[in-house]
Amino acid sequence: MNRFSRQFLVFVLIGFWCSPIVLAELPLGSKTFSLSGFGTLGGPYNFDDEAGFIRDISQPKGARGNGVDWAIDSRLGLQGTWKPREDFSSTLQLVSKYRYDGSYRPEVTWAFLKYAINPNVQVRAGRLGTDIYLQADSRDVGYAYLWVRPPVDYFGQLFNSYIDGLDLTATRGFGDGVLRGKLYAGQLHETLPGAKGSEYSLNGSTAVGGHLEYQHLHWLFRVGYAAVRLENEGSIEPLLNALRSTGVPQAVTLAQEMSSAGKHFDIFSAGVAYDNGPLQSQLMMSHLSSELAMSSNNTAGYLSIGYRIGPWTPYLVYSRIKSKDPQYTTGLPNSLPFEAINAGVAQAFSFNQVNQETFSLGVRYDFAQNADFKLQLDWIDSRDNPSILWVDPEPDWDGQAAVLSATFDFVF
């Protein structure tokens, strides 16, 4: 983040913090309109300057040595809701955060109309937050969770934060608990930063999925599934053309397997949360099954346990992600003129690998009823270099990093 934009963000955040009264009720005739917001100010200090630490794969540069990186976790959101009737409402949410292009341009993250067919069944249409994992749709609202940021090994690989489409939620009582099912479908719209300044547009890609949750007093059980179809070709098109032009059958087949257009991802997730008084715990698992050769299948999970003592909630998190070792062959001899093609393929595969675990220790301090302060220390062991979760690691990086983060979260 350059100095100007950092100062700008600080001023905006302080401004909002000091003037919640300004954002009071805005009467719109007899209709009901409300304006609220949330934000986080802070960030990580990566003790290691050999690799860039990112929060998720939408971030083009990471924290590496050189002071606190305010870009990674700071964000500001504003939400307006118009609710003219009990069964109908409309919501618009804008979020400013560090984007794939390095800017902080505010983006519409939610914009939907909601209609409750009855108190137990509702449909929403418009721009909707990605709900692939538990809490995936509120990753920007630091005040809503215990950690400084959602565990990177689990949430870091999520490539979109919203869909443009529809969702349907149905709820029914079941014993003492509540069973809730949700289905959604829509188009993706965001852009991801790639290696060496390239970008990948998700525009036109589609996502369809759903989940089932059962909540019983302290327990929450959840299973989910999502299918994503990629629309566009990536920046490695020239490499794929080079593979095809060799005419070697294995190389031609590999080019087909490495081409992203039309490829599917299946994402399965399951987890359980137990929340009883001062104790909060979650165990979540996910599995990505990919048709795209260089994004090999991976399995990820985390275990988080927190215990409140007065206004302090210390917590521990263990998280892990591992992608399957890629199996591929170009069928080309490693000599001129094919050396460059073989090297390019090897690089494309290695950029998308990930094999790491993180042990985190932190504390959330609720010093007010709408603001908290958090401090977290992560010990990360990345066994792949490069890795999809690190930006520009040095070739001789040992993959061990300690990251200390502090954030201030608020809602208004």
Contact call for residue 171 and another protein (CB under 8 A): yes
Q: Which of 83, 229, 287, 324 binds another protein (CB under 8 A)?
A: 83
Identify the residue among 46, 79, 282, 295 touching another protein (CB under 8 A).
79
Kindly tell me which residue out of 8, 12, 36, 208 binds another protein, with binding defined by CB under 8 A. Answer: 36
Q: What is the DSSP letter of 159?
A: -
Contact 203, 231 (CB under 8 A): yes
Q: Which is nearer to another protein, 120 or 241 (CB)?
A: 120
By CB under 8 A, residue 299 contacts another protein: no
**59 and 50 in contact (C-beta within 8 Å)?**
no
By CB under 8 A, residue 176 contacts another protein: yes
Cα gap 148→139, rounded to integer Å: 11
CB of 315 to another protein, least distance (A): 13
**Contact flag: residue 308 with another protein (CB under 8 A):** yes
How wide is the angle at C-alpha 357 spanned by C-alphas 351 and 358, nearest 5°? 120
Q: Which residues of 148-187 are buried (b: 16+ CB within 10 A; e: fewer)?
A: bbbbbbbbbbbbbbbbbbebbbebeeeeeeebbebebebe
Q: Binder to another protein among 120, 245, 256, 334 (CB under 8 A)?
A: 120
Which residues between 187 and 206 bind another protein (CB under 8 A)? none
Give the number of other CB atoms < 10 A from CB of residue 135. 15
Report the residue from 64, 75, 99, 124 that binds another protein according to the rule CB under 8 A.
124
Place of tokens 């959330």: 364
Whether the Cβ atoms of residue 73 and residue 98 lie closer than 8 Å to each other: no
Hey, which residues between 323 and 352 contact another protein (CB under 8 A)? Answer: none
Work out whether 143 is an interface residue with another protein (CB under 8 A). yes
Q: How far is the CB of 378 from another protein (least distance, A)?
A: 22
Q: Which of 109, 111, 104 is nearest to 90 (CA)?
A: 111
> Which one, 113 or 343, has the nearer CB to another protein?
113
Nearest to 294 by CA among 254, 235, 252, 339: 254
Can you give the binding site for another protein, defined by CB under 8 A?
20, 23-27, 32-36, 38, 77, 79, 81, 83, 86, 91, 93, 110, 112, 114, 116, 118-120, 124, 128-129, 131, 135, 137-138, 140-141, 143-145, 171, 173, 176-178, 180, 215-217, 276-278, 308, 311, 366, 368-370, 372, 411-412
